[in-house]
Amino acid sequence: MHAKRFALAFTVLVLIGSILLALPWTTEHGDATPPIDAFFTAVSASAVTGLVVVDTQDHWNFFGELVILVLIQAGGLGFMVGASLVLASMRRGSSLRDSLLLQDGAPTLSLQEATNLSRRILRFIITAESIGAGALTSRFIQDEPFHIALWHGTFSSISAFCNAGFDLQGNYVSFSRYAESTWVNLVVILLIQAGALSYIVFGDIWTKRRWNLFALDVKLVLITNVILLIGGAALFLVLEWSNSMAAIEPWARPLTALFQSTSTRTAGFATIAFGEIHPATLFLTIGLMMVGGASGSTAGGVKLATIAILVLTVISTVQGRSETQAFGRRISTQLVFRAMAITALFLFAHFMLTLALAVSEDMVAHKEFGFLPMMFETMSAMATVGLSTGITPEVSTAGKVILCIAMYIGRLGPLTAVYALQRRHQQARYRFPEGSIRIG
């Protein structure tokens, strides 16, 4: 029931957005947008992805930009609230009553509990976006009239917090003109992190305020997030120092690397041209995009805790332990299996969608994009990131449909899979005898 409601709400939001964006009075030139382009933009905005087939600033007028912003806010707010409620229900499902309710699709949270949690999340979102809008407007006003700076600051703040990747800079350049602006870089990084780590993580930090009191999943999310941020920035700096960052002042390149390491995991903003980066950096970026952010956040991907569980399982296996452990706690075998299943399903879907895109663009449309850029674009769509090597505006109609499917799966798939696996969990009443299988 929860999964159906999520899918239905998302579908309705996309359809309404598609109809509005297809109207002629949403564009700068006054002509109607082709239905497939309107649909693609609506899916990308609702899924808070950021992939575009037309430039947001150049193609849409104020009304069109407003429609996109409402879709971004509705998608980000709706998913953060909805996912948090579902995850809170699954965490509560430890008692017999809650387990039975969860298996039946009924809520384990009371109406009052759900309302209070929703209000706290809403206050968190409004506060973060308001502060971000003020901070970005204070910088944009140096280059633009106040009303334009205010609109751009508000749009960029909401897009950054929701990890959407849409911008109003024009000509598909994202934030490259602010590559050397410490203020813009840091504000956007903080907004992305606020949305990508979720209210659940920040709420636990705020209420407990001591590391040893934090929930296990919060500890895993924070540690994994820091490792990926620092590791991604270091590798990006080494690989792109004399390549895509050559035009940036040397003092600003570490900040650029940190910005891209943060944005790559789900936000989709860029201060360099991704069409010019090394294949090794593209491949690294694909891996970072797959991970995404925290569960219950505006981020996509398989999520930080999922990857942390898999890494811990490998470490425990190498050390000869029979169970996965972390911080003096045992991680249940069922949870390990779910993490493996989610990651395997995600990778399988990415494989099939990349294959479909390669067929539609290379074999049918005869476009020579190259396999790695198509693999990159598909992962960007599935992980709801929005980074592009520049080929998305040029893909065929079939390619646009494939990327829309990827965004749809990426937005709803991981959470739906977690909920479905939780509901299907059953205690075994008997065990089969062990069978010997040769591996390795």
Comparing 59-68, 74-83, 192-201, 277-286, the range with the smallest average pLDDT is 74-83
pLDDT band, very low/low/confident/very high, at 298 (cuts 50, 70, 90): confident
Are the C-beta atoms of residues 145 and 137 closer than 8 Å to each other? no
Whole-number Cα distances in Å, 289 to 220, 372, 387, 415: 18, 14, 9, 17
Q: What is the DSSP letter of 166?
A: -
The tokens for 34 are: 């082709």
> Which tokens is 26 given?
């949403």
pLDDT at 97 over 80: no
pLDDT at 19 (0 to 100):
96
**Calpha distance 389→289 (Å, rounded):** 14
Contact 228, 285 (CB under 8 A): no
The identity of residue 402, as a single letter, is I
pLDDT in tens, 322-356: 889 888 889 988 889 889 988 999 999 999 999 99
Tokens of 367: 């476009």
Which of the four pLDDT bands, split at 50, 70 and 90, describes residue 59?
very high
pLDDT tens by residue, 61-94: 999 999 999 999 998 887 787 766 666 665 544 4
Per mean pLDDT, which range of 21-25, 55-59, 103-107 is the poorest?
Answer: 103-107
Q: Is the pLDDT of residue 423 over 60?
A: no
pLDDT at 354: 97
Query: How is residue 332 annotated by DSSP?
Result: P
Written as six digits, the tokens of 44 are 């990308």
Question: What is the average per-residue pLDDT within 356-376?
Answer: 93
Higher pLDDT, 279 or 115: 279
